[in-house]
Structure 1
Amino acid sequence: MDRKRNEVVLIVDESGEDRDKLRVYLEEKEYKVLEACDGTSAWEALCREKVDLVILEMDLPDQSGILLCKRIYEKYCVAIVFLAKRWEEEQIIEVLRSGADDYIQKPFHCDYVEAKIESVLRRTKQRDKGKVFLNDLVYDAEERKVLVRGKEVHLTPTEYKLFETFVSAPNRVFTREQLIHYALQGEFDGFDRSIDTYIKGLRQKIEADRSKPKHIITVYGVGYRFVP
Structure 2
Amino acid sequence: MNHVKVLVVDDDAHIRELISIFLIAEGYTVIEAENGAEALLALESNNIQIVVVDVMMPEVDGYELTKELKKYYDIPVLMVTAKGESQDKLKGFDLGVDDYVVKPFDPLEIVARVKALLRRFQLLTDKNIVVGNLSINQIKYEISVSNQSITLPLKEFELLFKLASQAGRIFTRNDLIEQIWGLDYEGDERTVDVHIKRVRERLRELMAKVEIVTVRGLGYKLEEIHT
TM-score range for the pair, normalised by the shorter chain length: 0.5 to 0.7
| Deviation of the 1:139 alpha carbon | 2.7
- Choose which of 48, 51, 63 in structure 1 pairs with 2:48: 51
Q: Is the 2:129–2:135 Cα contact (8 Å) retained in structure 1?
A: no
1:13 and 2:16 equivalent? Answer: no
2:130 and 2:113 map into 1 onto residues whose CA distance is 23
| Deviation of the 1:25 alpha carbon | 1.2
1:72 and 2:69 equivalent? Answer: yes
**Count of aligned residue pairs for this structure pair:** 146
1:47 and 1:120 map into 2 onto residues whose CA distance is 21
| Deviation of the 1:140 alpha carbon | 5.3
What is the letter of the counterpart of residue 62 of structure 2?
A: G
Structure 1: 5+ residue runs without aligned partners? 154-169, 172-228
2:37 and 2:68 map into 1 onto residues whose CA distance is 12
In structure 1, the residue matched to 2:166 is none
**Helix, strand or coil for the counterpart of 1:92?**
helix
| Deviation of the 1:149 alpha carbon | 6.9
The TM-score, its normalising length taken from structure 1, stands at 0.57
Q: Is the 1:38–1:60 Cα contact (8 Å) retained in structure 2?
A: yes
- Choose which of 59, 62, 87 in structure 1 pairs with 2:59: 62
2:19 and 2:130 map into 1 onto residues whose CA distance is 33
Q: For the aligned residues, what is the CA RMSD?
A: 2.9
1:127 and 2:126 equivalent? Answer: yes
- Choose which of 68, 73, 84 in structure 2 pairs with 1:87: 84
**Helix, strand or coil for the counterpart of 2:117?**
helix
**Helix, strand or coil for the counterpart of 1:83?**
strand
Larger radius of gyration: 2
Q: Is the 2:5–2:31 Cα contact (8 Å) retained in structure 1?
A: yes
1:146 and 1:70 map into 2 onto residues whose CA distance is 27
Q: 1:140 to 1:48 in 2, by over 3 A?
A: same
The superposition leaves residues 6-56 of structure 1 with CA deviations (integer Å, 9 ceiling, x where unpaired) of 211000001100100111111111101000000111011000011111001
Percent sequence identity over matched residues?
Answer: 24
The TM-score, its normalising length taken from structure 2, stands at 0.57
In structure 1, the residue matched to 2:97 is 100
Structure 2: 5+ residue runs without aligned partners? 151-179, 182-227
Q: Could you list the runs of 4 or more consecutive aligned residues of structure 1 that deviate by over 3 angstroms after TM superposition? A: 128-132, 144-153
What is the letter of the counterpart of residue 49 of structure 1?
A: N
Compare the two structures and name the one with the higher helix fraction: 2
